[in-house]
């Protein structure tokens, strides 16, 4: 009996940054769809990571997310980004209801001249699939968002990192009386992404 081993791919710092940035594009879309931040009819179905994914058809949102992902890819390559946080707030009183946090670790030894790491793309995609499935499954325990909601993206970078002029500094936007659930993580062997969600717990 023989077993087929997944082909190893050479993962560079740049290649890993592209994989992680692309995950965030699909991951953010998935959260916005699952949590009903935008109407379900403003999303279209596509296939990614061997999963059915929902991505926005709203041109303004699409452009916003593409700009974020392009900037994120650059900062990931420069190893100057530590985390991305998606904050969901009520339009009624601006209260923070959910906080999706993705901590990013990078192999400090890697640079553009480094020898690529070896890891199969299927293995990486399997890890991403596990995280996306958990995002989908959160609707079973997260409280219903009864009021209208909007979202903000916070990106934590090194203090000396220059940011685009259109971006502004923000506080951490923490939740009072929060419940925290840790989600799965995935790694490209260059970057590791840990996920968690905090939500307002009115029972506390």
Residues 112-161 pLDDT 10s: 889 999 999 999 999 999 999 999 999 888 999 988 899 999 999 877 66
How confident is the model at residue 203, as a pLDDT? 64
Domain extent listing, the chain:
9-160+169-200
Q: What are the CA-CA distances from residue 34 to residues 73, 79, 133, 158, 188 (Å)?
A: 25, 30, 11, 31, 26
% of the chain surpassing 70 pLDDT: 90
Maximum Cα–Cα distance across the chain: 63
* DSSP-assigned letter for residue 48: E
CA–CA gap between residue 94 and residue 38 (Å, rounded): 17
pLDDT at 2: 40
Q: In the 8-state DSSP scheme, what is residue 101?
A: E
What is the model's pLDDT at position 4?
47
The arithmetic mean of pLDDT across residues 29-58, rounded, is 95
- Taking a C-beta distance cutoff of 8 angstroms, is the pair 189, 11 a contact? yes
From CA 75, how far away is CA 153, in angstroms rounded?
A: 15
- Radius of gyration over every alpha carbon of the chain, rounded to an integer in angstroms: 18
Please state the pTM of the whole predicted model. Answer: 0.90
Q: What are phi and psi of 127, to 5 degrees?
A: -65, -40
Cβ-based burial of 33 (10 A; exposed 0-12, middle 13-18, buried ≥19): buried
Per-residue pLDDT band at 1 (split at 50, 70, 90): very low
pLDDT at 109 over 50: yes
Query: Is the model's pLDDT at 21 over the cut of 70?
Result: yes
pLDDT at residue 8 greater than cutoff 50:
yes
pLDDT at 161: 62
Phi, psi angles (nearest 5°) of residue 79? 60, 40
Architecture of domain 9-160+169-200: 2-Layer Sandwich (3.30)
d(CA 42, CA 202): 31
- Whether residue 23 has pLDDT greater than 60: yes
pLDDT (0 to 100) of residue 200: 87
């Amino acid at each position: 009996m023989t077993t087929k081993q997944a082909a190893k791919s050479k993962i560079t710092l740049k290649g890993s940054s592209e994989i992680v940035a692309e995950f965030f594009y699909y991951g953010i879309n998935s959260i916005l769809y699952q949590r009903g931040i935008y109407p379900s009819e403003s999303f279209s179905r596509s296939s990614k990571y061997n999963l059915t994914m929902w991505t926005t058809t709203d041109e303004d949102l699409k452009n916003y997310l593409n700009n974020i992902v392009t900037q994120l890819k650059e900062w990931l390559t420069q190893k100057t980004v530590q985390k991305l946080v998606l904050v969901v707030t009520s339009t009624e009183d601006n209260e923070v209801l959910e906080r999706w946090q993705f901590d990013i670790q990078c192999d400090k030894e890697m640079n553009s001249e480094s020898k690529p790491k070896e890891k199969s793309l299927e293995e990486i995609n399997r890890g991403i699939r596990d995280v996306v499935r958990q995002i989908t499954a959160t609707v079973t325990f997260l409280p219903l968002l009864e009021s209208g909601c909007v979202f903000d993206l916070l990106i934590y970078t090194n203090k000396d990192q220059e940011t685009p002029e259109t971006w502004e500094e923000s506080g951490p936007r923490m939740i009072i009386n929060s419940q925290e659930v840790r989600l799965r993580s995935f790694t490209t062997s260059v970057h590791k992404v840990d996920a968690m969600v905090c939500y307002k717990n009115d029972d506390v």
